[in-house]
Structure 1
């Protein structure tokens, strides 16, 4: 339990607190008429698919199939506030750099296409034709290898497919996306060890599993609708074991806001049977301890003719188990305890839950992926599941919980810097061109290219790239040295305040707004975290008559950039998105057959997963046991004065969008400028509660990085670990501090020192 002297939230996730959070944003935004109808149809077949997280949209939906943060995202998008050219006539871009992330977005929806006027240091209105023509002219003048086509995780499958096609017709695979910042480690690690780059579980598995093991995922804030199947699972006897340095209330207790009985009586459901506060970067060691206990119990069982391990599965479907077994047996408990920050007894109790469960699902989030050795984190988690055949059976699987609503789907339809993951031969046949085969730039590579001057142009399809990346200070300084920057967005954010020589800010429709094209109202599609495809159709009036859809903007730029090609029909595709779905089906026939006929399948249609069928598309043709070379995923050694910084998102936030200053589920109100430390660490460091301090980078590259103005706040964390908010603390993360295989920034264990 948390120290009584720490800030904390004693209530459950959900409940009246969740409803009050929605009501507060409703009162702040005064959303447009019809928002209640939008919410009533949100995440339901034939309705509007939420722009927040990628949690699934079940066929047997609840009366209200949205959560607190999903409702906030919709209210935020359907606000009555407008950011017009008159606003920019009153404020220079340099002045706006002093505004907070929250206040920038509070200016409201962008209404007109805008061009940055460097002489006036502000944005001025322009026509769409002017913007498309100027952008196309600049792109044609550049070496294609010097342009980056970034995508956030919101754009539809249709827009994403055409965006990726545009980049390749232009001549590069420079297609980093928000996955590079969060779950690229998943794509790389799962592809290597099970042959499929995404999770193997489906929604129905949660109704038959006996145990769920959570690592580094904050369900209560990041995917609250997930709490409903978790609550149902617990009530039928499933046991949940959670590993996280931070005690997140959503995995401790909840009240279902849709249950009148629970709301009126305050009856909570305890979610986790065991909650282990592993040290940041200690997950490999914790998983090693679980595996060590499983082997010990298997030894006991074999002495009486039984087995804990699924030896038939191991023999038939896995590779390198013997080497893995030897590694586990030879790893001392003392090292496991030291690196994990957990006791042997605690790990053995958690391990016993795994031993006794017939069907287990492994859940994880960015606590595993955003580490220097995140690949080994995921490899070890898969190792644990393979030991008992917990992949490829109902009620089992490895299940990363994805963040942004279509971040997984974008990769599925071609947004990838890895040409080997895209059917380039098929694209060449369909569109009559020679596709680039050179590997493109990841997010980290793109940042490095901007710093060294080799990247000359940046197109941003949504997102807040400059704010979300590491090395913020250096990146903001280097950004204006580019020739061309283009941002496609619904609202103003900090990335729009740093511009190249030629810069445009292009306003787009939100997903909740009617997209009316030549063929009529358009449907778009997205992919959820379980690889199910859902159609989305919106009915709300657009915020401005001057807005275009993301797809229309991509097509408009492409037309002005590329030479005419009779097989590339931008106008036809813009007029009728079903024709783009035909292209997706032709490119990926096994996964998207009968695409247009299935867009509104209740619960979405499943595009399949080879590993779920126990078809292992790996080098060995089997699921791979991996052997980590170290027990710490942090990537740096502990030393005097060095802390492991964990960056967090608040309950009042989605990615870089800050809805307000209420982190209710942690008991922090009215501020984001905090440094969270355990009371014992505060005393050990000679600090006091309420003291204002700074953090400096303690990376071994010798570069100075600093964030100040942080109030010391007592919080329940493991020794040696401190925490603060993302993206405010991103300036402390070196660009070189990333997973060794995927280059995902390692923001869950950053080496820092406290400066008084």
Structure 2
């Protein structure tokens, strides 16, 4: 049994006794198929999903292998496809029967269960209803509004699923129009990665490729849950464990996917009790305690270095790498030496012996990989979490060689790729001089708005228009009540989407809801069926070709919608070929290649390369594009990433996604892998904390923000549910608990909302 936990510790708590994968995953897929009444094309789409020449999943960004499994999809990937290929339809007749005010009272799940949007719609304030309009009317109306506004008073948001082709056109449109206000879903999740890794390694993305997982001796997980967020990752993890690789996990919650996995594609495992224990050690670090935990590991690594050198004259550290490729080592060592074990144990919530055991795995492994998710990025000092993890991996030269590296696990299917082709509020990250030459215009050079900055300016009334390329922005951001009130004061809101969600009900004075094709559907243009591309977490580019019949004849593609709005807004430019690009997406890829020739050379020839084509990574090549010209050791500001002080009555809330959810999309009410069924209105607590707080299991309470800003934020109707968590830490579901997060509560460097460490109080439920 893995270190750090025992099965009998779960006595009296809600938990799931089964494994990740297995028949539970099969059942979850079947239940979703029945709920969605999925079209027959869904089976063919699943057969082709994540395979060379096939359809690329719209769910997570985990990589697609060169030699796929028979079924190269996971439970949540299948749910995403079935959700998109539902037989349900949200038609103009539906909107004629329901006012927007009425629909605001519906739950997120019920809104999306109305089915695929079928027709472009315009919001009519007089009747408080959406009414149908033609595409030409929509484009002309949006263009007229945008032309009347200062471009810098507008925001073009992109969710993480839009293709490289769409993203490139969208970013180009924004800059031709006159702004860099291009926040995307990365701002809410992994912008911390982009900022921190860029600073210390010179590359804003992870350094691993898939073959590294075949060579590594150890994998260290921090704050990432593959069982729910990227289940296909469990296949290489299982294979790694079977060949002797050790996996050590640090996470406040015991997630089944990192405990034990039953491979649904293995007849032996499906028909017998056989399963694979994934983690050899599982340490339930306190929320916000990762900096301290990693510091403790480094402290023991330094002790092992001294012992081995004294006894054998052999180094534990890669001293040659440190000398040739890094800067700041002595300062880091002095910092770690000065931190006491008592401080480390207090801040991490872990015992010294357990941290030493984890460090011993690291010391003994020749090649190690670090994997992490939003459990590190979404903290007030999230950037320091990542920099401290890089510190640990630089000590043994575990960046820039085969079988080793730092590998953040991105969430949405193309969120990393969007940044690659220009979706960025940071002008220094975009080749603006090249765009100026290529398209004959002067791009804006000023800093654009992040998600947090955009929200701040919506609150002050400085932002007048918002275009959303997918996603559920208003539901995903913090500070719901204030933001929804301010949202209606904007002049224009436009939402490009496949299904109805809450963001579509919070409208500006002029509002349009534009339905688009799904990625699984055939995109037929003048030159024939079109393929699109996306980038995975490991920097590989994959082509995707949809074949399912569109949900409605009135749907058009995301690139066509972007081009339609752009043509209605901008003056003609002979170098900007909107009509040609929409007729043939290969021409968009030619333009991308011209803008980014090093990464996208021979783009069209490589679209369907099995396993994707690798666009390269300077840090993997040990070319450090940092200020020092080397990989930088850095010092954390604090020993924890928790942005405030502990005090009596203050709890550390982490928001969670369930097994029946992807981002804000709710597929159902079964969080099977945590044993929570039929509800999302819970607060998960350690049983000892429940008793100490004078509460009882099943009691209904409210959570109130305990941020020191005087604003009353609360969410009620939450059932106290016993769960094995570190003392002082509680959990609840995103996005339902987002109203508790102040807009100002974000990573100091990246502005990513700190949703994994929110200060709250438990109070009586008012209603």
TM-score tier, shorter chain, comes to over 0.9
Cα shift readout 1:612-663 (whole Å, capped 9, x = no counterpart): 0000000000000010121010110000000000000000000000000000
TM-score for the superposition, normalised by structure 1: 1.00
Shift of 1:33: 1.8
1:351 shift after superposition: 0.6
| Partner Cα separation in structure 2 for residue 191 and residue 112 of structure 1 | 42
The residue aligned with 1:561 is 569
Q: Which runs of 4+ in 1 moved over 6 A?
A: none
Aligned to 2:107: 100
- The answer on 1:640 being equivalent to 2:654 is no
Show CA shifts across 1:202-225 (max 9, x none): 111000000000000000000000
Q: 2:677 matched to 1:669?
A: yes
Within 5 A, what are the aligned runs for 1:186-265? Answer: 186-265=193-272
Is residue 752 from structure 1 mapped to residue 749 from structure 2 by the alignment? Answer: no
CA-to-aligned-CA distance 1:396-441 (integer Å, 9 cap, x gap): 0000000000000000000000000000000000000001000000
Once the two structures are TM-superposed, the CA of residue 34 in structure 1 deviates from its matched residue by: 1.7
Give the alignment partner of residue 484 of structure 2, picking from 466, 472, 476: 476
Deviation at 1:149, TM superposition (A): 0.3
Cα deviation digits, residues 560-607 of structure 1 (max 9, x gap): 000111111111111100000000000000000000000000000000
Tell me the equivalent position of 1:170.
Answer: 177
d(CA) in 2 for partners of 1:593, 1:58: 22
1:709 aligns with 2:724: no
SS of corresponding position for 2:533: strand
Which residue is equivalent to 1:501? Answer: 509
User: CA deviation digits over 1:450-506, x for unaligned, max 9?
Assistant: 111000000000000000000011111111000000000000000000000100000
Alignment of 1:350 with 2:348, yes or no, is no
Separation of aligned partners in 2, 1:689 and 1:431: 63
Cα separation, 1, equivalents of 2:352 and 2:625: 36
Number of residue pairs matched? 756
Match of 1:150 in 2: 157
The Cα offsets for residues 686-715 of structure 1, whole Å up to 9 and x where unpaired, read as 000000000000001111101000000000
Measure, in 2, the Cα distance between the counterparts of 1:737 and 1:10: 36
**Separation of aligned partners in 2, 1:572 and 1:600:** 22
Aligned to 2:61: 54
Give me the whole-angstrom Cα distance separating, in 2, the residues matched to 1:459 and 1:15. 41
2:147 alignment counterpart: 140
Deviations along 1:165-209, whole A, 9 cap, x unmatched? Answer: 000000000000000000000000000000000000011100000
Rounded to whole Å, the distance in 1 between the matches of 2:687 and 2:49 is 43
Residues in 1 aligned to 2:757 and 2:36: alpha-carbon distance in whole angstroms: 36
Query: What's the CA shift for 1:331?
Result: 0.7
Q: Does residue 1:541 correspond to 2:568, yes or no?
A: no
Matches within 5 A, 1:57-456: 57-304=64-311, 305-456=313-464
Per-residue CA deviations over 1:31-76 (Å, capped at 9, x if unaligned) read 1122111100000000000000001110011000000000000000
- Structure 2 SS opposite 1:645: strand
Tell me how large the CA RMSD over aligned residues is: 0.5
Q: Cα distance, 1:29 vs. partner?
A: 1.0
What 5-or-longer segments of structure 2 have no aligned partner?
1-5
Rounded Cα–Cα distance in structure 1 between residues aligned with 2:22 and 2:166? 37
CA–CA distance in 2 between the matches of 1:730 and 1:102? 16
3-state SS in 2 of match to 1:613: coil
SS in 2 for 1:611: coil
Report the Cα distance in structure 1 between the residues aligned to 2:40 and 2:192, rounded to whole angstroms: 42
SS in 1 for 2:10: coil
CA distance in 1, matches of 2:86, 2:698: 36
Match of 1:718 among 717, 722, 726: 726
Alpha-carbon distance between aligned partners in 1 of 2:259 and 2:634, rounded to the nearest angstrom:
31
Query: Helix, strand or coil for the counterpart of 1:75?
Result: helix
Structure 2 counterpart of 1:688, from 696, 704, 721 = 696
- Which among 570, 594, 597 is matched to residue 602 of structure 2? 594
Question: 1:355 Cα deviation (Å)?
Answer: 0.6
* SS in structure 1 of the partner of residue 654 of structure 2: strand
CA offset at residue 302 of structure 1?
1.0
Secondary structure of the corresponding residue to residue 652 of structure 2:
strand
Greater Cα shift, 33-42 or 375-384: 33-42
Deviations 1:223-273 (A, max 9, x none): 000000000000000000000000000000010000000000021100001
Mapped partners of 1:289, 1:473: distance in 2: 41
Q: Aligned equivalents of 2:515 and 2:372: distance in 1?
A: 35
Paired with 1:460 and 1:27, the residues of 2 have a C-alpha distance of: 30
Secondary structure in 2 aligned to 1:404?
Answer: coil
Q: Secondary structure at the match of 1:617?
A: coil
Match of 1:526 in 2: 534
Secondary structure (helix, strand or coil) at the match of 2:620 reads helix
DSSP-derived class of the 1:179 partner:
helix
Q: For residue 702 of structure 1, give the secondary structure of its aligned residue in structure 2.
A: coil
| 2:33 corresponding residue in structure 1 | 26
Q: 1:576 aligns with which of 560, 584, 591?
A: 584
* In structure 2, C-alpha distance between the alignment counterparts of 1:353 and 1:361, rounded to whole Å: 12
Distance in 1 (CA, whole Å) between partners of 2:648 and 2:362 is: 37
User: 1:620 aligns to what?
Assistant: 628
Alpha-carbon distance in structure 2 between the residues aligned to 1:414 and 1:478: 29
* Whole-angstrom CA distance in 2 between matches of 1:335 and 1:33: 59
Cα offset, 1:519, TM superposition? 0.8
The CA deviation at 1:3 is 2.7
CA distance in 2, matches of 1:620, 1:403: 31
Task: In structure 1, list runs of 5 or more residues that go unmatched.
Answer: none
Q: Distance in 1 between matches of 2:559 and 2:750?
A: 29
- d(CA) in 1 for partners of 2:319 and 2:129? 67
1:85 positional shift: 0.5
Instruction: Give the match for residue 3 of structure 2.
Output: none
Matched with 2:614 is 606
Deviations 1:349-394 (A, max 9, x none): 1110001000000000000000000010000000000000000111
More displaced 10-residue stretch of structure 1: 40-49 or 26-35: 26-35
Alignment partners' CA distance in 1, 2:180 and 2:637: 32
